[in-house]
Structure 1
């Protein structure tokens, strides 16, 4: 595998640094580190404040202060939308001018439409990973994507959701198994992720109580109203909030958990927390939503029907009895970072070779 110069485009919303705001930031961090360790030159275009240990190029998310006349326009988008738009516009103009001098391939992991819509302005190839279900802006941008663009999806489920507009090869997210070692387990359940309504940790609390098991919650609060309404009143009596943890602290919590409970009320594109849990040897009990059905599979845990709050407590009890070594082996077989990176290396090399030939 020859050394490649890779441009990684991340989201402008959250810095790629510990403690990670979500799975996308953790994914970018792991991908950049692994590519660099394998000898590639990696530049990460990400939100200001990202980890300086990576080769970070901060996206130009400048403060935008609209005039009073512009704000009076009833169709005016929020200032934050304009800042994000200008950040990606500036990046794509820069790559169109000089990207061919600096990079062999661009790997777009942002959730923004402009990198896809402006890919035809670049003289270097781009692969875009689809991390979410179709969104109107991104779906509409695909009609401007050049024919030599490549697309990957994080699960079969996500690839199928996009099938009506693009064929994407499936490259499942991988995790660094050395950073999520197998642990001894314990007596309590754990739920971890962003504390938002669509992740519904309040249902995990209710299910754990019905299963007769204490539960710890870990993650950043992204919706204060939801937290005050559904989470805060449920704290105590076997329910603890651990806060937003560094991944090393979170790994310790998950390794010492008996079972991980996941309660998405939307179709999960992948489910990185499930893979992290299984790598720790901790089985998963979850709603069967989206990509989780592939990630957990046979051997990593058990799934209840979507939103089935009556079945979930029984699922928790069943999952908690699985042998931890077998759960860890399942994660090693299907969710390793090395496997994911090797697949992306193959895509990069193919695109770069075709570009040179052209």
Structure 2
């Protein structure tokens, strides 16, 4: 099969595409949608709020539901709204990134591809196992996929970005950057302690608004502020890209099985190396001693911060250009869509 594909892309209900600040899934969806359109396909995006992508847009909610992130009803209502919209569309395939939406896949005559954005463990794993062959699952790293190799996987597609969105600075500053969410498993307290031990300043650009984030901030982060530790809060857009380009390294001291980690490829695309703990997808994304330093234990981080300053910015960018571009991501999803469509047609003969 070849030719133009008609794709319904369902984003989660939490943030507009592209997001103004936090929103890794939404960034990934934005890059994928634009690359698919650039490749000649017809994409209808179903998402909340305004549309900043190249796709045709159907708005599911006037206002994105990010302030209610973690509550069940915004996702339930989003699934109910997208159900009737998808039924009215003439599409070849549905690509769903939401949590509740895949429950409706069994009703459709066209295949539903679902990208999993969380570690495939516990109830999350059980949920997608129960959906069985009504969905075609895509992993965003081999590490994520290895947690449940028996699932109905149709492929592994690393996330990608548009290299043109990220430019390196003429020179790096002497401070390091933490960019992410203010929660324990992202390791912000470890990042601060490691920066201090390495004798460098750290700037913290972190989402911090949910109750669990605020609790962690008050107990572990606020007492560590000052003395070379600068809290910036949540950032996005040009400010985020400027920070990524100017930092001497991005520190990524995670304490969980990270499925991918968009911020790592954003940093490398900016010519900035990544210093990370070896969990989840890190070794798939960061080329150790080339585009960053991968550490086995927390005590290795301070020395890795010092070593990272010697790595070459163009080497960092080369890793992204080779393996993590949005066009490469779109090519791989095209193959998955066509495979799913071919199987679906055979099934209905």
Alignment of structure 1 residues 168-317 onto 2, 5 Å: 168-184=154-170, 185-222=172-209, 223-298=213-288, 299-305=290-296, 308-317=297-306
Which one of the candidate residues 328, 333, 339 is aligned to 2:328? 339
CA contact 1:214–1:239 (8 Å) conserved in 2: yes
Deviation, structure 1 residue 59: 3.0
Q: Distance in 2 between matches of 1:141 and 1:301?
A: 34
Task: Determine the C-alpha separation between the residues in 2 that align with 1:13 and 1:138.
Answer: 22
Aligned to 2:109: 123
Does structure 1 retain, via aligned residues, the 8 Å contact 2:155–2:336?
no
RMSD (Å), alpha carbons: 2.5
Asked whether the equivalents of residues 42 and 55 of structure 1 are also in contact (C-alpha less than 8 Å), the reply is yes
How far is 1:61 from its partner?
A: 9.3
Counterpart check, 1:20 vs 2:11: no
In 2, Cα distance between equivalents of 1:186 and 1:43: 42
Pick aligned residue for 1:109 from 64, 78, 97: 97
Q: Check the 8 A contact 2:175/2:248 in 1, yes or no.
A: yes
Deviations 1:21-51 (A, max 9, x none): 2211111111112222222221222234554
Please give the per-residue CA displacement for 1:163-202, whole angstroms capped at 9, x wherever unaligned.
1333341100011111012333222111101222221212
Q: Deviations over 1:210-269 (max 9, x none)?
A: 101111111321411212222222222211122322232211111111111111121100
Question: Residue 163 of structure 1 is aligned with which of 124, 139, 149?
Answer: 149
The alignment partner of 2:153 has SS state of: coil
Residue 152 of structure 1: how far off its partner (Å): 1.2
Check 1:138–1:331 CA distance in 2 against 1; reply closer, same or farther (3 A cut). Answer: same
Q: 5+ unaligned residues in a row in structure 2: which ranges?
A: 64-68
Distance in 1, matches of 2:34 and 2:3, equals 17
Q: CA deviation at 1:98?
A: 3.3
Question: Is there any run of 5+ residues in structure 1 with no aligned partner, and where?
Answer: 63-77
The residue number in structure 1 matching 2:66 is none
**Aligned residues of 1:46 and 1:59 also touching (Cα < 8 A):** yes
1:190/1:39 CA distance change after superposition, 3 Å: same
Superposition TM-score, scaled by structure 1 size: 0.85
Cα distance in 2 for partners of 1:168, 1:162 equals 13
Task: Name the structure 1 match of 2:32.
Answer: 31
> CA shift at 1:115, angstroms?
3.0
TM-score normalised by length of structure 2: 0.88
Inter-CA distance 274–141: structure 2 relative to 1 (3 Å threshold): closer
Distance 1:130 1:80, change over 3 A: closer
Distance in 1 between residues matched to 2:281 and 2:104, nearest whole Å: 29
Shift of 1:354: 4.3
- Give the Cα separation in 2 of the matches to 1:227 and 1:90: 36
Residues 135-174 of structure 1: matches in 2 within 5 Å? 135-137=122-124, 139-146=126-133, 149-174=135-160
